[in-house]
Amino acid sequence: MRKLLPLLRFPLTLLRAAAPTPPKGPKPPELMTDSDWVRHRAPRRHRDEVLSDAAVAWLARLPDDFRPDLLAARYPRIANRMALLWRDPGLIEEYLDDLLVARRPNRQGFAPEVASDLRSLQVLNEHRLYGAGDQDDRAA
């Protein structure tokens, strides 16, 4: 038995080297599971449940045809965020794309009327970005 013991002793570093190391950094969106997304998302706060003063003012400045009333009523957290981002057409374009383009598997998506609100805002923002809108659009 003692003759076998030296054969069983080998450096533990060989075992560690053989174990795969997890990649550094976040997973790509296509590999994330629902539980990964839950951990990734900020915790829900009370102020996410009501429209902020900034969001109310932002909604009032938008042209009637583009005002996302259903979005604001159902998703005040999103409307609050949009109000903060709206002054930067590039940032709001990116945020709208994130909301409208499904990058996560098994997502239900928005109700058609809320998605319509988002698309209307996208059109309004494209007018601001590419100079196709009138002066009222840019002021919003």
**DSSP string of 5-74, one letter each residue:** HHHH---HHHHHHHSPPPPSSPPPGGG--HHHHHHHSPPP-GGGGS--HHHHHHHHHS-GGG--HHHHHH
45-92 confidence digits (pLDDT tens): 666 789 999 999 999 999 999 999 999 999 999 999 999 999 999 999
Distance CA 66, CA 3 (A): 83
Task: Flag whether pLDDT at 139 surpasses 50.
Answer: no
Distance CA 80, CA 138 (A): 19
The type of residue at 34 is D
Give the pair of three-digit tokens for residue 2: 């003692």
Distance CA 135, CA 9 (A): 79
Task: Flag whether pLDDT at 111 surpasses 70.
Answer: yes
Backbone phi and psi for residue 26, each to the nearest 5 degrees, phi listed first: -70, 155
Task: Flag whether pLDDT at 134 surpasses 60.
Answer: no
